[in-house]
Amino acid sequence: MTFNKIMVGVDESPDALKAFRYAIQVARHEMAELIIVSILEEKNINVYQSLDRNYWQKEMTELKERCEGYKREALEYGVIDVRTIVNKGNPGELIINKFIPLNNPDLLVIGAKSTSRIKNFFGSQAAYMARYAKISTIIIR
């Protein structure tokens, strides 16, 4: 099976970083487009943070910068075509219901667990995405 477009979900967790490294290897080998997705999960923000507009801007700016770093790493590794998607909300629902239909990847690569800071980013989200994705899905540990 060959892949033309690979979507990978990232955060700062060890499993997500392994998933990213796996995805760039496959993308380079297959000469596939790589789509890097990172979602700021809103439910893990406390009430005071949610009221502070500057907090949201700061978090989204940091997330965009991290994704640009992942993009640079993929390009340096030899992946030819790399895009990033950054958003906030429920990672599983956004990836399955919005970003997969909009981008039509052949493969979804995600980490099994996430950082404690964003504790639900892929733990139960990974199971959700594997169950509902209509494309091949690889969960990395």
Q: What's the number of domains the chain is made of?
A: 1
Rounded CA separation 139/141 (Å): 7
- Hey, what are 11's tokens? 């955060």
pLDDT single digits (tens) 85-122: 999 999 999 999 999 999 999 999 999 975 444 444 44
The pLDDT assigned to 48 comes to 66
The range of the structural domain enclosing residue 89 comes to 5-140
The pLDDT assigned to 81 comes to 98
- Hey, what are 77's tokens? 């590794």
The pLDDT assigned to 103 comes to 98
CATH of the domain at 130: 3.40.50.620
Q: Residues 91, 122: contact at Cβ < 8 Å? A: yes
First to last CA, the chain: 22
At residue 91, what is the residue type? P
The pLDDT assigned to 62 comes to 95
pLDDT single digits (tens) 53-76: 788 889 899 999 999 999 999 999
